[in-house]
Structure 1
Amino acid sequence: MDVVSLAEKFDRIDEYWSPAIVGELNGQHVKLAKLRGEFDWHHHAVDELFLVIDGELTIELRDEPDAALSAGEFLVVPAGVDHRPVAEEEVRVLLFEPAGTRNTGNVESERTVEAPDRL
């Protein structure tokens, strides 16, 4: 068993919107990502958890009011819900989702990461 330093792992992430796997349990991946700007509108076939470690993140939702998250807050986006993360400044997030979940969900774009790095 290894203790994971989030600060050390975040320091190894160089690109925005490119999640990296930092842990795995029960078929789930724990991923870290740095975000800045607007992401693609998309949805997933599974639930997705966004936990803000540092910064402020807005999750825009097509059919509900937007969710504004600050450090220490999280949101679970249910399966099938169209959403778009937006970060005015750099934000650091922890994502928890089933292994194999593609970051762009049902959409393929230049930001799609098929095989995230393991840190």
Structure 2
Amino acid sequence: MNTQHIRPTSFTAERAWGARTIACMNGISTRLHWTDQPYRWHVNDGEEVFVLLDGTVDMHVRDADGSVRVIALQCGDIFYAGAGCEHVAHPHGEARMLVIEQEGSI
């Protein structure tokens, strides 16, 4: 039996958005990310789910009309980005997120 026990608040990476892959199942990856820097505006290949495990993050989302909304995420919050949703995460200090997405997605 293969098992893992991970304490997210202890996880760090060598660079912003560094990740530890927890599982890849049927083309879906589950990864623990650590960052202290914003990512970049992007659109994923498919759907994406963020679970904020530690810290606070402002998720910026570009709507179809070009306007930008900011959603303040707190520890325990879940954010879903549907296919085609342009977004970027801006942490306030260090943050740790569980990200579930299509394997190989940016």
Classify the secondary structure of the residue corresponding to 1:30: strand
Shift in Å, 1:9: 9.1
Match of 1:56 in 2: 56
Match of 2:97 in 1: 93
Amino acid at match of 2:37: G
Query: Could you say if the C-alpha distance between residues 58 and 40 of structure 1 is closer, same or farther in structure 2, counting changes exceeding 3 Å?
Result: same
* Aligned counterparts, 1:1-119, within 5 A: 1-7=1-7, 11=11, 13-63=13-63, 65-102=69-106
Give ranges in structure 1 of 5+ residues lacking alignment. Answer: 103-119
- Give the TM-score, by structure 2 length: 0.83
Shift in Å, 1:8: 6.7
- Compute the RMSD of aligned alpha carbons: 2.0
Query: Could you say if the C-alpha distance between residues 2 and 10 of structure 1 is closer, same or farther in structure 2, counting changes exceeding 3 Å?
Result: farther
Q: Which moved more, 1:7-16 or 1:80-89?
A: 7-16
Note the alpha carbon deviations across 1:54-86, whole angstroms, 9 max, x for none.
111111012252111111111111111111100
Identity %: 24
Classify the secondary structure of the residue corresponding to 2:37: strand
Structure number with the higher strand fraction is: 2
Amino acid at match of 2:79: L
Classify the secondary structure of the residue corresponding to 1:19: strand
